[in-house]
Amino acid sequence: MFKEFKEFAIKGNAIDLAIGVIIGAAFGAVVNSLVHDIILPPFGLILGNIDFSNLKWTFPSGAVLAYGAFINSIINFLIIAFAIFLVVKQMNRFRRKPEADISEKECAFCHTLIPIKASRCPHCTSQLN
């Protein structure tokens, strides 16, 4: 059993998952700070410092339906989702573009794409250099 666990733990997928969880937690803290410290204050000013958390409806039996907290959660989710979208969009701008895998070349005679290692064009049968 220990051998199986060792094989599982050392596999690349388990290590990649662990790294992803750690980076995700750190990224979550950054996004939380971005939303709560930078985005929400101006958003609150625009809405006139409205706090939906106090909105609730009390049933005659005394049970409370706190729909204001739900509205706050939805607003927070939308702001966080938009902030993540902006961060990922910027990160994608800086990501290296993968180099093109050159596996084909163009025949100098008939201008069709042929395998890079071909010595003769399969379309026009011309001898290639």
For residue range 9-66, list pLDDT tens digits in order: 777 677 778 888 888 888 878 877 877 788 777 877 887 777 777 889 999 998 999 8
Q: At what angle do helices 2-10 and 12-33 cross, to 10 degrees?
A: 60
Length of the chain in terms of residues written: 129
pLDDT at position 5 over 80 = no
pLDDT in tens, 80-126: 788 778 888 888 888 877 776 788 889 988 999 999 888 889 889 88
Look at residue 12 in the predicted model and tell me its pLDDT: 63
Among the four given CATH numbers 3.40.462, 1.10.3470, 1.10.1200, 1.20.1070, the one describing domain 2-94? 1.10.1200
Interval 76-83 mean pLDDT: 81
Q: What is the DSSP letter of 60?
A: T
Q: What is the DSSP letter of 36?
A: I
Euclidean distance between CA atoms 109 and 123, whole angstroms: 10
Euclidean distance between CA atoms 119 and 129, whole angstroms: 7
